[in-house]
Amino acid sequence: MNLKLSLKKSLDGFSIDVNLSVHEELLVLFGPSGAGKSLILKMVSGIIMPDEGVVEIGNERVYDSENHIDLPVRNRRIGFLFQDYALFPHMTVYGNIAYGINHLKGPMIKEKVDELIAVMRLSGLEKRYPHELSGGQRQRCALARTLAIEPRVLLLDEPFSALDFQVREKLRADLLRIHTLYPITTILVTHDLEEAFMLGKKIAVINNGRIEQAGPREEVFYRPGTRSVAKFIGTRNIFDGTIVGLDGPLVTILNKDIGLVKAFVTEGGELQTGQDVSFCIRPEEVIIIRPDRPLDYRVHDNIIEGEITSIIGKGSTQIMFLKTGSGDTFLKIEVPNFVVRKLSLGKGRHIRVSLKKESLWVIP
């Protein structure tokens, strides 16, 4: 079932204005806290009334301010997973899941609940109350409850934020498995970059109540359309420059501090010589040039020299900051631990790195 929405709402010093359309897939709505993500879900479900707009599920308009359509929440058949799950504390797992089943009768209800209990790995917990469940079990119980009504659309509001790190990993995988099993049009809201990357084949980046960019995961992550999108998706190396040369897909940019940088662009049509642009590279895409080996032709361009000013462990990788140019430009580099060991990288070392033309992304 397709979901189309176009919503506007003004609040104190903040406004939301979004257009989105989701086609039988899982869309991750990603953005910082306070960007308006949860509010959008609440407006789609009807819990909060927008100022104006349209919400369309399949061919049915459930909300249309112009034509005064506002279908009551109970008739929208939208599954909604609350951030804190909102399980009914006085009902058992079974009772919670069965609560919303209005379309089945007698033994069919039990069949449906049993099916969901098995899928959600809740077998044996049917008679437990929510306070007797772990965080992960609670989340799965709440998800089962929303799926029990066979919703047309599923809205998940930060479904993993209340969970421990270890549980989160497992439950994310669970969610993907469940989404394959019940391929319902889904919007998942998160402020966690890793989560967005892992779960969303399509991602919409929201900031300040506006969708900054929406598209397939790879496109959003490696080709951010604006500086703020680049920032949110963890690109820390964003620099300014002026285009000094255009040659087909190859662009030459002059940065006052680093010098000339060459980059490939996929759509060079909109760029012009003399134009001010930003360019960026993800920290894990920066390649360290080994001094003991001849220079590979693939890393021939954009070679930058600098001094490592700090190095911080981050589990399986290390984050280094490289002071380059005249000393005002810092490049963030993420390398696996074994590389750090092998090249004995450390604070104060001078190294050379390459910013591959293909890895650089130019933001007009």
CA dihedral 17, 22, 27, 29 (to 10 degrees): 10
Structure token pair of residue 235: 């690109």
Q: How far is the CB of 256 from other proteins (least distance, A)?
A: 52
List C-alpha distances in Å: 50 to 127, 155, 267.
Answer: 39, 17, 37
Which amino acid is residue 126, in one-letter code? E
Q: Chain-centre distance of CA 92, in angstroms?
A: 33
Q: Chain-centre distance of CA 132, in angstroms?
A: 32
Q: How far is the CB of 183 from other proteins (least distance, A)?
A: 20
Of the pair 104, 308, the CB lying nearest other proteins is at: 104
Of the pair 112, 145, the CB lying nearest other proteins is at: 145
List C-alpha distances in Å: 274 to 252, 255, 265.
Answer: 11, 12, 16
Of the pair 157, 174, the CB lying nearest other proteins is at: 157
d(C-alpha 191, C-alpha 329), whole Å: 28
Q: How far is the CB of 312 from other proteins (least distance, A)?
A: 39
Of the pair 89, 348, the CB lying nearest other proteins is at: 89
- The answer to whether the beta carbons of residues 137 and 130 sit under 8 Å apart is no
Q: How far is the CB of 99 from other proteins (least distance, A)?
A: 6
Of the pair 158, 301, the CB lying nearest other proteins is at: 158
Q: How far is the CB of 251 from other proteins (least distance, A)?
A: 50
Q: How far is the CB of 79 from other proteins (least distance, A)?
A: 7
Q: Site residues (CB under 8 A) for other proteins?
A: 45, 47, 72-80, 82, 84, 86, 88-90, 99-100, 102, 145-146, 149
- The answer to whether the beta carbons of residues 265 and 315 sit under 8 Å apart is no
Of the pair 48, 167, the CB lying nearest other proteins is at: 48
